[in-house]
């Protein structure tokens, strides 16, 4: 993967301003070319990377960050700098998001005007990418709990293991299901059962790090994907989940507890083998059988 080293790009404020401030044929041609490039993708990260390559020809920055609600994206190779300059992006008074440039010196009026002109080419493609991102999130989300669904889990596990193999780190899994959940559903009805699932999902959220991901497969089956994992971090997350679920008043009222199984990636693992070990550990816990984590280095 190519890293954008935008610190090495140098620009002439006069020439850049002249190019984008004029109404010349060349200016329109460059704008049309940029817009054409931006319209080839609905992926937010790719879109920002394409835009950054163009913007870096005129303004010197070391990082570019986009924020819209819960959406947080950055270009490849972004690094912090001494200063930040933010631009609020709007399209016909509709808020599109906040674009932040990490810069080592303040952006002057001329360069700020250049960026504002460049942003005009970004607005429509960016809005389309945001809508696509939202649609994909809904397709990958469990409707009841708001956690990722099984399809999203498979995708994220594949991505995380690929990243871990490249960087010599480890992925961990925690799989969970609820004890006595069927009895609650049968006795008290699905409305109560659904609230139990929502409360347990909240207990999971309270137990993990920002870098971890949560999923519900359906029924009362859940999973936690832990990146940069160790045996210690998996043990700690497991302890926190048990504690959070024990402290939940609704789960306590219906005497619902959770069973947990964990596995830590080794270099021979694929997605299936890593999951199967966690699932086997879950089975052992439910049956009251001893089990342990193992880490085998390739």
CA distance 12 to 85: 19
Note if 220 is an active site residue.
yes
With residue 91 as reference, give the H or E element that holds it. Answer: strand 83-91
Q: Which of 246, 236, 202, 240 is nearest to 222 (CA)?
A: 202
User: DSSP labels for 106-145?
Assistant: ---HHHHHHHHHHHHHHHHHHHHHHHHHHHHHHHTB-TTT
* Residues with Cβ within 8 Å of residue 172, at least 6 apart in sequence: 225, 226, 227, 229, 230, 233, 234, 262, 263, 264, 265
Q: Which of 60, 177, 212, 220 is catalytic?
A: 220
Q: Give the span between the Cα atoms of 205 and 190, in whole angstroms.
A: 22
Alpha-helix residue ranges (DSSP H) falling in the chain: 13-21, 25-38, 44-55, 109-139, 150-167, 181-188, 190-205, 231-246, 249-253, 271-286
For 28-49, give the DSSP string: HHHHHHHHHHHTT---HHHHHH
Rounded to whole angstroms, the Cα distance separating 192 from 185 reads 7
Pairing verdict, β 63-68 and 213-218: unpaired
Q: Tell me how far apart the alpha carbons of residues 114 and 195 are, in angstroms, rounded to a whole number.
A: 52
| Residue 159 in tokens | 């991505």
Catalytic residues: 220
């Amino acid at each position: 993967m190519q890293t954008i080293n935008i610190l090495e790009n140098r620009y002439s404020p006069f020439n850049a301003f002249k190019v984008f401030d004029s109404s010349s044929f060349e200016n329109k041609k460059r704008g049309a070319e940029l817009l054409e490039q931006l319209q080839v993708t609905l992926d937010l990260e790719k879109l920002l990377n394409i835009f950054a390559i163009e913007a870096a020809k005129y303004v010197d920055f070391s990082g570019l960050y986009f924020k819209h609600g819960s959406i947080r994206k950055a270009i490849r190779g972004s690094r912090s700098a001494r200063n930040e300059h933010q631009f609020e992006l709007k399209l016909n008074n509709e808020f599109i998001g906040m674009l932040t440039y990490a810069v080592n010196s303040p952006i002057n009026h001329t360069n700020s005007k250049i960026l504002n002109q460049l942003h005009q080419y970004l607005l429509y493609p960016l809005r389309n990418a945001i809508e696509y991102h939202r649609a994909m999130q809904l397709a990958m989300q469990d409707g009841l709990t708001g956690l990722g669904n099984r399809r999203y889990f498979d995708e994220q596990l594949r991505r995380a293991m690929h990243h871990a193999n490249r960087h010599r780190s480890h992925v961990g899994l925690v799989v969970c299901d609820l004890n006595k959940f069927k009895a609650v559903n049968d006795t008290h009805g699905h409305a109560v059962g659904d609230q139990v699932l929502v409360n347990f999902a909240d207990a999971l959220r309270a137990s993990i790090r920002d870098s971890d991901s949560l999923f519900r497969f359906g029924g009362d089956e859940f999973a936690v994907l832990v990146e940069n994992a160790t045996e210690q971090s998996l043990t700690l997350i497991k302890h926190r989940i048990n504690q959070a679920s024990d402290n939940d008043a609704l789960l306590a009222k219906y005497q619902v507890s959770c069973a947990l199984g964990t596995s830590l990636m080794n270099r021979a693992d694929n997605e299936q083998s890593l999951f199967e070990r966690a699932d086997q550990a879950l089975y052992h816990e439910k049956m009251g059988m001893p089990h342990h984590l193992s880490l085998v280095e390739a």
